[in-house]
């Protein structure tokens, strides 16, 4: 708990100081404009600055939208201002700024400020549209193991981030598209809930999850945001929406393929423990809801309780793409992860590429294949810039 108190205190301080810096620099331009704008600008800025904290304290939908877009301007405005500071610093030594610009400093500032505001407003509008329109990406993987399946069709998506800004009917078309694919399995890679399970229950913004259809069921693992939301409430939410949660356990699908799900490694920050992959694979599995369709083995027993058979394909779902070598070591054939959002907004992809061995896309280590998805939703701000939200349509084939 003390870690999060310190963390949020630091974030709040940075938010205040950077906002003050942005206000000071922007107001130096605004006050040169004629008319009412220079009088009301301080009050407008204060309103936008306080919107997000107000929304989080009082759980207000409208103020969260306003505050979220303020954060967009906040992030990019700060970067632009820092770049301008660097330009001004080096100009002291190299004098590369044209004389005409220096002589018309106020005019240049007005043009730059107006250009920034118009350009980024249009950019954020387009990025919001981009975030609402995921691409359905077709992928093919071959596992060099035999299976009773000739092929298996899996829909995988992660990082939905349902919150109070999510409209109740926002995913109607999405469900129709997913179900139209007639998948054998639907797998969700964590972070279904953004930060508050009660908000999602109240807004009914997750009801669409009940309408997902797959021959062998819908499965999910937890992500770090399920822990922010309250892990017990989050798991209960998923179960109540007809999703089987794999928390450090596995299931055997149709006596042919193993699906292994791990707890998110954030569990340790909340006083829990995450089993090693070796421990999970050595334990007996737990079959999915017996009301769902499955093919028993010849003896008719529930094969999910048999010891794991490593000669069959092993598919691992782990929210965060960390310690990827562990999957290779334990003989996993295919791993899917999410979490990174591929940075979500440019240049965040450079940061995630630095933090993770692979932050997006395909990787192969030994015989183990990996795919890290950019995810479906957004976190903190409702835009995606420089990448597409995605759903993976996976065609999995096996050795004949």
Q: Do both 240 and 328 map to the same domain?
A: yes
* pLDDT reported for residue 139: 98
Q: Tell whether the model's pLDDT for residue 288 goes beyond 80.
A: no
* pLDDT reported for residue 118: 96
Q: What is the total count of domains within the chain? A: 2
* Residue positions counted in the chain: 400
Q: Do both 376 and 232 map to the same domain?
A: yes
Give bridge partners of residue 136 from the DSSP assignment.
391
Asked which of 110-114, 151-155, 182-186, 296-300 is least confident by mean pLDDT, the reply is 296-300
- Residue range of the domain that includes 41: 2-131
Placement of tokens 């387009």 in the chain: 126
* pLDDT reported for residue 298: 38
Tens of pLDDT, residues 333-385: 999 999 999 999 999 999 999 999 999 999 999 999 999 999 999 999 999 99
Q: Do both 123 and 183 map to the same domain?
A: no
Average pLDDT over residues 215-238: 95
Placement of tokens 């959002």 in the chain: 341
* pLDDT reported for residue 296: 40
Q: Do both 249 and 113 map to the same domain?
A: no
Q: Do both 335 and 232 map to the same domain?
A: yes
Give bridge partners of residue 137 from the DSSP assignment.
392
Q: Do both 200 and 325 map to the same domain?
A: yes
- Predicted TM-score (pTM) of this structure: 0.91
What span, in angstroms and rounded, lies between the C-alpha atoms of 200 and 194? 9
Q: If you average pLDDT over every residue of the chain, what do you get?
A: 91
Q: Do both 305 and 249 map to the same domain?
A: yes
Asked which of 131-135, 194-198, 376-380 is least confident by mean pLDDT, the reply is 194-198
pLDDT band (50, 70, 90) for residue 290: very low
Q: Do both 253 and 384 map to the same domain?
A: yes
* Nearest alpha carbon to residue 178 among 137, 149, 140, 127: 137
Tens of pLDDT, residues 7-49: 889 999 999 999 999 999 999 999 998 888 899 999 999 999 9
The sign of the torsion formed by the CA atoms of 85, 383, 375, 361 equals negative
Q: Do both 378 and 265 map to the same domain?
A: yes
Q: Tell whether the model's pLDDT for residue 217 goes beyond 90.
A: yes
Q: Do both 105 and 192 map to the same domain?
A: no
Instruction: Say if CB 257 and CB 149 are below 8 A apart.
Output: yes
96 Cα distance to chain centroid: 42
- Compare 292 and 212 and report the one with higher pLDDT: 212
Average pLDDT over residues 55-68: 91
Q: Domain ends where: 74, 98, 131?
A: 131
What span, in angstroms and rounded, lies between the C-alpha atoms of 197 and 223? 13
pLDDT band (50, 70, 90) for residue 284: low
């Amino acid at each position: 708990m003390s870690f999060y108190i310190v963390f949020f205190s630091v974030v709040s301080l940075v938010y205040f100081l950077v906002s003050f810096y942005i206000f000071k620099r922007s107001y130096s331009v605004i006050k040169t404009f004629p008319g009412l704008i220079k009088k009301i600008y301080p009050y407008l800025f204060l309103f936008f600055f306080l919107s997000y904290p107000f929304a989080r304290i009082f759980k207000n939908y409208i103020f969260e939208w306003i505050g979220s877009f303020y954060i967009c301007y906040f992030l990019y405005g700060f970067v632009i201002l820092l770049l301008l500071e660097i330009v001004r610093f080096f100009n002291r030594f190299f004098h590369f700024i044209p004389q005409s610009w220096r002589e018309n400093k106020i005019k240049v500032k007005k043009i730059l400020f107006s250009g920034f505001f118009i350009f980024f407003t249009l950019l954020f509008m387009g990025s919001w549209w981009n975030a609402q329109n995921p691409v359905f990406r077709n992928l093919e993987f071959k596992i060099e193991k035999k299976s009773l399946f000739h092929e298996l069709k899996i829909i995988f998506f992660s990082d939905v981030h349902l919150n109070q800004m999510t409209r109740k009917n926002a995913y109607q078309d999405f469900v129709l598209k997913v179900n139209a694919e007639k998948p054998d399995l639907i797998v969700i890679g964590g972070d279904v809930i953004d930060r508050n399970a009660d908000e999602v229950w109240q807004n009914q913004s997750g009801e669409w999850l009940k309408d997902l259809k797959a021959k062998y069921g819908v499965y999910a693992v937890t992500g770090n945001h399920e822990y922010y939301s309250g892990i017990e409430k989050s798991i209960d939410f998923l179960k109540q929406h007809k999703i089987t949660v794999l928390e450090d356990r596995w299931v055997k699908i149709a006596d042919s393929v193993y699906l292994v799900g791990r707890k998110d490694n954030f569990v340790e920050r909340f006083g829990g423990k995450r089993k090693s992959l070796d421990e999970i694979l050595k334990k007996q599995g737990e079959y999915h809801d017996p009301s769902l369709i499955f093919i028993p083995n010849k003896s008719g027993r529930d094969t999910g309780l048999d010891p794991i058979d490593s000669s069959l394909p092993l598919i691992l779902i782990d929210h965060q793409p960390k310690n990827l070598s562990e999957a290779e070591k334990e003989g996993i054939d295919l791993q899917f992860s999410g979490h990174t959002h591929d940075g979500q907004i440019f240049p965040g992809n450079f940061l995630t590429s630095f933090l993770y061995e692979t932050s997006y896309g395909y990787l192969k280590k030994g015989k183990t294949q990996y795919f890290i998805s950019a995810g479906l939703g957004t976190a903190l701000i409702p835009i995606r810039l420089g990448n597409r939200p995605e759903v993976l349509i996976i065609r999995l084939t096996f050795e004949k």
